[in-house]
Amino acid sequence: MKPRWRQEEGESEFYQGPGVRKAILLSRYSDLLKNWLIDEIKGAEGREKVQPAVTLETGIVVPMKLGKWERQSIPLHVTDHYKKLFKLFNEYFKKEMKDLGDETLKLELAVLKKLTG
């Protein structure tokens, strides 16, 4: 199954310009990371069995608003589910970075690489 943020081969999304395209890419990136953090905190607190907010079927959703941003530190942990999503998103991100011709996005790629293990 193809992730909802990726187009089929030969398909393309329309953008008003490279700035809009980059903004959409970074918005998807930040939403993915926010959802992962929310799910990891839920799991670490043991409140419930975590159902990941991001799946291949739903795609990247806008995360729910958190009332309180200050949290206790927890060790970095990436579930297998999110490792798979980060790996798939990394491929999409690299393609978009190449199409944009924007090497300044390498830092975000390094973060994704670390999160995929």
Domain-located, residue 74: yes
Residue span of the structural domain in which 27 resides: 18-115
Domain-located, residue 7: no
Domain-located, residue 98: yes
Total tally of structural domains belonging to the chain:
1
Domain-located, residue 12: no
Report CA 112 to chain centroid distance, whole Å.
8
Cα separation, 102 vs 19, whole angstroms: 11
Side chain identity at residue 64, one-letter code: M
More confident residue, 86 or 17: 86
Domain-located, residue 13: no
Q: Hey, how many other C-beta atoms are within 10 angstroms of the C-beta on 11?
A: 7
End-to-end CA distance of the chain: 22
Q: How far is CA 104 from CA 82, 93, 99, in A?
A: 24, 12, 13
Domain-located, residue 9: no
Domain-located, residue 10: no
The predicted model scores a pTM of 0.67
- Asked if residue 87 lies in contact with residue 56, where contact means CB atoms within 8 angstroms, the answer is no
Domain-located, residue 55: yes
Which tens digits make up the pLDDT trace of 45-93?
666 666 777 777 777 777 665 555 555 567 788 889 999 999 999 999 9
Consecutive H or E run containing 83: helix 80-100
The DSSP output letter for 36 is H
